[in-house]
Amino acid sequence: MKYLYLVMALAITGCASTDDESSAKEAAISHPEPAEQVLNVDTLVVDIMTEKLEKNGRSIFCDQPSYIGCYNISRTQCLAELALPHERCLARTNDKTGGLTADNLESHSQYYGACLALEHIMSRIDNLDQVEQISECIGSAEIDPNTAAQSLLQ
């Protein structure tokens, strides 16, 4: 994650060079010290990740062939089935973690993911055999982190 901060910081701040003293002073005022840049980048990353999670959180699961295979449903059906649980899980996760921050990015993501997966399984509670079968399948499913990241950041 720190590499992401570094890349984003470089992309955002760019390189500044000055020829005279007044330009150097203006550059110092408009470009904060490195510690301040990290804080600003942290805030930016959190803002973007929050927006992406709200928009694409369901896709993290529904774009995984192994996940939708466990339910024997299409991506479209998965997205529809996760619409309401997604909203509930966002609210629960924010309540539980106090909202997404640079310090709780991992725990926030894990809580949201567990909530969404559990809500989806519980939506099938009327068929206990199916719940057990899906639970076992998901427990052994291989989730591709690259696909998950692409789905989130699309």
Number of CB atoms found within 10 A of residue 77's CB? 13
| In contact, 75 and 62? CB cutoff 8 Å | yes
Please write the tens of the pLDDT for every residue from 19-30: 444 444 454 455
The answer to which of 8-12, 46-50, 118-122, 144-148 has the lowest mean pLDDT is: 8-12
pLDDT band at 82 (very low <50, low <70, confident <90, very high): very high
Secondary structure (3-state) at 125: coil
Q: How far apart are CA 31 and CA 25, in angstroms?
A: 10
- In this prediction, residues 40-44 reach a mean pLDDT of 81
